[in-house]
Structure 1
Amino acid sequence: PPDCYFNIIGFGSTFELLFNEGSKKYKKESLEKALEHQKTLSADFGGTEILEPLVSVYSKQILPAHSRNIFLIIDGEVFNTEAVVSLVQKHSHDTRVFTLNTGEGASTTLIKGVASAGKGKTEFV
């Protein structure tokens, strides 16, 4: 949407943000940077450690008059599914989480649990 803010976080054993200083308003320049960035993305961050990136997102304040939605694209499993789902549930009053499974190795318990806890939807592709 025209007045939204966004960021892209690559994650695995570590994580990195496209916009380190925080989410950027959707406009031509930020969209172009995101499109260039997505061309370089690859699944090379190691394991699937999603808890710390989520903690990072949840630690940021929600901008006034905006909602926060997380679109989690995942293709693996985590060792701490319960902790991830619990964290998402804890923040479900102000943040919705949607999940997209892009591989056969993803945990359905994680994908469905996070989407349910985050009052979002899940898709398997």
Structure 2
Amino acid sequence: MSNKPIRVAVTGAAGQIGYSLLFRIASGEMLGKTQPVILQMLEIPDEKAQKALKGVMMELDDCAFPLLHGMVPTADPMVAFKDVEIALLVGARPRGPGMERKDLLEANGRIFAPQGKALAAVASGKVKVLVVG
């Protein structure tokens, strides 16, 4: 295996969707069985969320995925998106009781706008971005 590792950012990495994605990426299900990856995991700067992210990292480490060449846990979008070629923005606010769609879009816009600015500033020039939320 001589492929250069691809840096993949996942936001909301300790959330349900992010958690599921990380193991699929690390196992080669997303990019293929010969493509090494470095996971750059963004989570909110909340003590509980950061602790959960550390737990996710321990689980990934325990799996000993041969394609997983590194992990970068952070609460800083500038670190999470540095040199990434793929960004999966799946960390979003869920729709709450009584929320209209426009309210949800506004709330998630406040999350995604700074992430977009960080991507523009530090990601690879050929980054591919998926936004869910």
Same fold, TM-score > 0.5, yes or no: no
Q: Report the TM-score when normalising by structure 2.
A: 0.35
Greater share of helix residues, 1 or 2?
Answer: 2
Q: RCO higher in 1 or 2 (8 Å CA, sep ≥ 6)?
A: 2
Q: Report the TM-score when normalising by structure 1.
A: 0.36
